Amino acid sequence: MKIGFIGTGNMGTALIKGLINSKYVSLDSICAYDIFKDKLLKLKEELGINIGNSNKEIAKECDVIILAIKPNVYNDILLEIKDDIDENKIIIIIAPGITIESVKNILKKGKVVRTIPNTPALIGEGVTAISYSENISSNDKEIVEKIFGSCGEVVEIKENLIDAAMAISSCSPAFVYMFIESLADAGVSLGLPRDVSYKLASKAVSGSGSMVLKTGMHPGYLKDMVTSPGGTTIQGVRTLERLGLRSALFEAVISSYEKVKGN
């Protein structure tokens, strides 16, 4: 099985590195093409992957084609490769707003998969929401989940929910970084060195997320474990409630969702 990448941006590169580290396929089975030749040659030198000469070559020679490109060039690329796609090829979308139906309408053939990864995939800690077209087999799903599982966790959902998943998992890292930055700035204002403040804030956030996942406990219950009656934490929670933290996060997710829907 050959896996081909059209586009080698951050997410494409993360997946290539994840595949290499996981040893799911051999290095000879990974091929990529990008219009930015310097970037492509640097990847070949750094990682040892094969590089193609065109989008069409990737589409023709590879069994799995990962479209790691910007949404605004999807139609042009799909039209370019459509004659090189057959019924057995798996075409993977990595872009907000690009639907399975829109890709199938252009290609007419192939098995289309829609994915929404997030930037923590760059360090192997991502989560990817995945939706499949109806002609995908269980073996095809295993292939796709092995590819994205090399960079973190995977979650299969219906396509009508994937934009909602994007607003949660793909947009929220930016919200979390703002949260970490705010915590750290507050620490600096209280006299902590900035590097110490960033480490304390970042580990508190990553550890809290791990607590939710590993214990299976409701976040509200875990919050209550930290908030002693009349204590310091409950006073901080009171301030967050008064200033509208919950509402701000709620509305940030909704506005991100509405943006991808074109509202």
Q: Is the per-residue pLDDT at 221 higher than 90?
A: yes
Question: Residue 244 region, left (φ>0) first, then alpha (ψ -120 to 50), else beta?
Answer: left
- pLDDT tens, residue by residue, 47-85: 999 999 999 999 999 999 999 999 999 999 999 999 999
- Percent above pLDDT 70 for the chain: 100
Question: Does the structure show a pLDDT above 70 at 263?
Answer: no
Has residue 261 got a pLDDT over 90?
A: no
pLDDT tens per residue, range 79-137: 999 999 999 999 999 988 899 999 999 999 999 999 999 999 989 999 999 999 999 99
Q: Is the pLDDT of residue 151 over 90?
A: yes
pLDDT digits (tens, 9 = 90+) for 162-204: 999 999 999 999 999 999 999 999 999 999 999 999 999 999 9
Place of tokens 């909602």: 164
Name the average pLDDT for the chain: 94
